[in-house]
Structure 1
Amino acid sequence: MTRILHILDHSLPLHSGYCFRTRAIMKAQIASGVHVAGVTGVRQDQHGVRAKTPLEHVDGLDFFRTVTAVNGPSPLREWREIAALAERITQVIKTWQPDVLHAHSPALNGLAALRAARKAGLPLLYEIRAFWEDAAVGNGTGRENSPRYWLTRQLENHVIHGADAVAVICEGLKSDLISRGIAPEKITVSPNGVDMALFGQPPAPDEKLRRELGLAGKSVLGFIGSFYDYEGLDDLIAAMPLLLKRNPHTHLLLVGGGPMEEALKRQAESVAASAITFTGRVPHDEVERYYGLMDVMVYPRKSMRLTELVTPLKPLEAMAQGRIVAASDIGGHRELIKDGETGTLFPAGSPEKIAEKLDITLKNRSQWPQTIETARKFIEADRNWSSNILGYHPVYQRLIAHKTSRRAA
């Protein structure tokens, strides 16, 4: 049985898109007969859940933890993180004996994995979910073309060149790597997917919750996620007064929180307070209750390198849940949504166009069943984790075969 060791920034029991993609990959690989485990770095603790033991079992999955305390100013702290994770990976290799190391971005993980892989003579697959420097710009913690941005990019390039194979989650990232001189045959696209066992059944409306939120008789637009600036929620809020003139019974339901929350609340108060509800963050096991109240899920992301290159997970989950999806026409969305077929696309950054396209969508409910069916078929055929993970297998086998031939020589 092939043994794959996943090297991760953080994992369950934390809840994030990063964690859920990891969970889906590992669960699907186990179901296909692959033996898997994960190793997390010191940032597992920094995300708020301190590891209690060196090995934790969460949701049927095994995660080896790096429990070393790391501190110091940047970039010294980051180099210490790399060293601590590399040492932990080396320890796990000796006891767990994997066939392949599968490291997931950011680059710090890749650097640690590269160090451990070379020491142990194991092949390394490095998977990029987003470029770390672009994610920092999107989150407001970095600036494009700054020294830190440049250094992070160079570190990423070092890992990419050093790894035996590279995986990316979308065509946008693949194209960017090719433009950097990476051979196309070295790159595998493993797109974001949906665990149909978790998201395959559309949730029934929770009428009690609908009454509590004052949504009876409303056409509900919804967003569930983190409130970062690049999500474009300010553009969606700005569109609400324009949309209400055309559809006075429309209501916007925003579930989640994040850096932009207070600014968005102030904006909502000034433009359409009675038609916008902020729920705050809700427990993960209650998210479906809110999904069930939403008629149209709206993703108004702004145009920037991060959003143009990277495909998000949320629209796929919404399609699987039987929701109508409306989103900005950035590159990351165009890979997932065909305008007029699996959802609606509108120009990024334009409240006027957002209002116009949402008005059309709300007035064409007769077309919704066909759109929902087409979107679901797309998910089942092209974005189902049970089939998505099959793309890894030939890469693993090629790497294992190459390692074996090198040893024989």
Structure 2
Amino acid sequence: MEISDLRVALFSGNYNYVRDGANQALNRLSGYLLNQGAKVRIYSPKSKTPAFPSIGKVVGVPAIPFPGRGEYRVPLGIPWWVQRDLKEFGANMFHISSPEFLGHRAVTLARRWDIPVVASVHTRFETYFRYYNMAFLEPFVEAMIRRLYRRCDAIFAPSESMAQVLREQRMSYDVGIWSRGVETEIFSPAKRDMAWRRSIGIADDEPLICFIGRVVMEKGLDVFAESMDALHRRGVKARVVVIGEGPAREWFTTRLGEDAIFIGFQRGEDLARAIASSDMLLNPSVTETFGNVTLEAMACGLPVVAARATGSLSLVEDNVTGRLIRPGASESFALALQYYCQDLEARTAAGAAGRAVSERYSWDAVNHALVEGYLRIIRHREMGGHPINRPR
């Protein structure tokens, strides 16, 4: 089988409702498949006002708003008319992108129709409950996710560190890597703009620490704020720029105080300019499986101070491209930030090392690796092989 023979049915819980790293990766995958002559169709709740233009045809599935988070949707299943569309499309590979109800139903359908099915892992959903005082649910959620992934032919992690976590959690016997890419011609140190910094009230000699991403509690907003408090107690006069939007913005604005500048959601050249015009990235989150924003910051020549967690472990080399800090250790985060705030030479060296690492990641290369995984699984099935996650 060749790439052009692939007919991929991609299942997503909110494909074009939210412009996050996961959905943009899926959109790029769809574009790569189409450019290679393959066919792809996306099955997802469909927005009348999509957050970004979709590449590939999107077939809507019924859904309801997620309670308290209206920007997300809860799919209600795969009704008969969607199943008919799947049959007419002639999918020979199912790909689920999140462990929610639509993903479970797609895996059940794939097994019934004897179609190979894979899952890509984009975030550590089981860890979200820590941020909402429901950590007791984590083992239950992990068990539910394991049941889903063990029914797939294979799962794909975005980094080796996340793949190792999945192996330790016994999520699958076949764990591949589907990394993430970055457009180094857009995200570049050359996009640094001192005039733009001045326009938002940052002096040339003021260290600027950036937060990038959805402004939600599970991104470690509490640790970020505590780290900035600890930095200020050390007498370091640094400023914060928050690049992104989200339901916790009001809380974050109040918590960070007047030293923080919120510039909202940015994209493309504007996003690259904002990142490159900062001096370092602080990423205390433990929920990422890769860290798209970390890679973008490295491409822009910024040192990264990140939690020693999945994703960052595979991108950040401690004391070379930044610092890896024990999750939640706000004093240690502050000490690392102080070092880069006060040592321009170290900051420049770490940024240059990060830029060199980012140049290894191209979207075509990482998407090709996933497609090779598709073909391997299909050939294994055609030769009479059985998915190793399932009993014969």
TM-score (norm 2): 0.81
How has the CA–CA distance of structure 1 residues 156 and 183 changed in structure 2, closer, same or farther, with 3 Å as cutoff?
Answer: closer
Counterpart pick for 1:211 among 198, 207, 218: 198
Give the match for residue 154 of structure 2: 165
> Aligned-pair distance for 1:215?
0.6
How has the CA–CA distance of structure 1 residues 37 and 195 changed in structure 2, closer, same or farther, with 3 Å as cutoff?
Answer: farther
Q: Is the 8 A contact 1:126 1:160 kept in 2?
A: yes
Query: Residues 32-71 of structure 1: matches in 2 within 5 Å?
Result: 33-42=36-45, 44-45=46-47, 49=48, 58=53, 61-68=55-62
Deviations 1:362-393 (A, max 9, x none): 23222344323322222222x33222223223
Distance 1:110 1:401 in 2: 23
Give the match for residue 54 of structure 1: none
Counterpart pick for 1:81 among 76, 85, 103: 76
User: 2:203 corresponds to which letter in structure 1?
Assistant: A
Q: Is the 8 A contact 1:103 1:110 kept in 2?
A: yes
How has the CA–CA distance of structure 1 residues 243 and 182 changed in structure 2, closer, same or farther, with 3 Å as cutoff?
Answer: closer
Q: Say if 2:149 is the partner of 1:134.
A: no
> Aligned-pair distance for 1:118?
3.0
User: 2:44 corresponds to which letter in structure 1?
Assistant: G
Give the match for residue 235 of structure 1: 223
Give the match for residue 383 of structure 2: 405
User: 1:21 corresponds to which letter in structure 2?
Assistant: A
How has the CA–CA distance of structure 1 residues 139 and 16 changed in structure 2, closer, same or farther, with 3 Å as cutoff?
Answer: farther
How has the CA–CA distance of structure 1 residues 332 and 182 changed in structure 2, closer, same or farther, with 3 Å as cutoff?
Answer: closer
Give the match for residue 321 of structure 1: 300
User: 1:62 corresponds to which letter in structure 2?
Assistant: G
Give the match for residue 339 of structure 1: 318
Q: Say if 2:123 is the partner of 1:145.
A: no
Counterpart pick for 1:392 among 347, 365, 370: 370
Distance 2:347 2:239 in 1: 19
User: 1:145 corresponds to which letter in structure 2?
Assistant: F
Query: Residues 4-403 of structure 1: matches in 2 within 5 Å?
Result: 4-12=8-16, 14-31=18-35, 33-42=36-45, 44-45=46-47, 49=48, 58=53, 61-68=55-62, 81-84=76-79, 87=80, 90-135=83-128, 137=129, 140=132, 143-146=134-137, 152-181=141-170, 184=173, 186-196=174-184, 198-199=186-187, 202-205=190-193, 207=195, 209-217=196-204, 218-240=206-228, 242-244=230-232, 249-269=237-257, 273=258, 276-279=259-262, 281-285=264-268, 286-301=270-285, 306=287, 310-381=289-360, 383-403=361-381
SS at 1:82 equivalent: coil
Distance 1:71 1:19 in 2: 18
Distance 1:235 1:152 in 2: 24
Distance 2:194 2:279 in 1: 13
User: 1:279 corresponds to which letter in structure 2?
Assistant: F
> Aligned-pair distance for 1:162?
1.9
Superposition RMSD on alpha carbons, in Å?
Answer: 3.3
Number of aligned residue pairs: give it: 373
Deviations 1:312-349 (A, max 9, x none): 22101111122222223334422221112112233433
> Aligned-pair distance for 1:172?
4.3
SS at 2:78 equivalent: helix
Distance 2:256 2:309 in 1: 24
Deviations 1:145-194 (A, max 9, x none): 33xx566444423322221222122334433443354564x111222332
Q: Is the 8 A contact 2:307 2:327 kept in 1?
A: yes
> Aligned-pair distance for 1:65?
2.2
5+ residue gaps, structure 2: 68-72, 386-392
How has the CA–CA distance of structure 1 residues 341 and 30 changed in structure 2, closer, same or farther, with 3 Å as cutoff?
Answer: farther
Distance 2:251 2:229 in 1: 17
Q: Is the 8 A contact 1:224 1:254 kept in 2?
A: yes
Distance 2:23 2:57 in 1: 12
Deviations 1:26-46 (A, max 9, x none): 334444x2524242323x44x
Q: Is the 8 A contact 2:178 2:370 kept in 1?
A: yes
TM-score (norm 1): 0.78
Percent identity of paired positions between Structure 1 and Structure 2:
18
SS at 2:294 equivalent: helix
SS at 1:335 equivalent: helix
5+ residue gaps, structure 1: 52-56
Distance 1:91 1:200 in 2: 46
Q: Is the 8 A contact 2:75 2:102 kept in 1?
A: no
How has the CA–CA distance of structure 1 residues 313 and 88 changed in structure 2, closer, same or farther, with 3 Å as cutoff?
Answer: farther
How has the CA–CA distance of structure 1 residues 67 and 372 changed in structure 2, closer, same or farther, with 3 Å as cutoff?
Answer: same
Q: Is the 8 A contact 1:255 1:282 kept in 2?
A: yes
User: 1:120 corresponds to which letter in structure 2?
Assistant: W
How has the CA–CA distance of structure 1 residues 160 and 328 changed in structure 2, closer, same or farther, with 3 Å as cutoff?
Answer: closer
User: 2:182 corresponds to which letter in structure 1?
Assistant: V
How has the CA–CA distance of structure 1 residues 188 and 282 changed in structure 2, closer, same or farther, with 3 Å as cutoff?
Answer: closer
Distance 1:99 1:117 in 2: 9
Q: Is the 8 A contact 1:188 1:391 kept in 2?
A: no
Deviations 1:19-74 (A, max 9, x none): 1121232334444x2524242323x44xxx467xxxxx935x1132225366999x
Deviations 1:80-130 (A, max 9, x none): 71233xx46533333332331222112323212223323433211122223
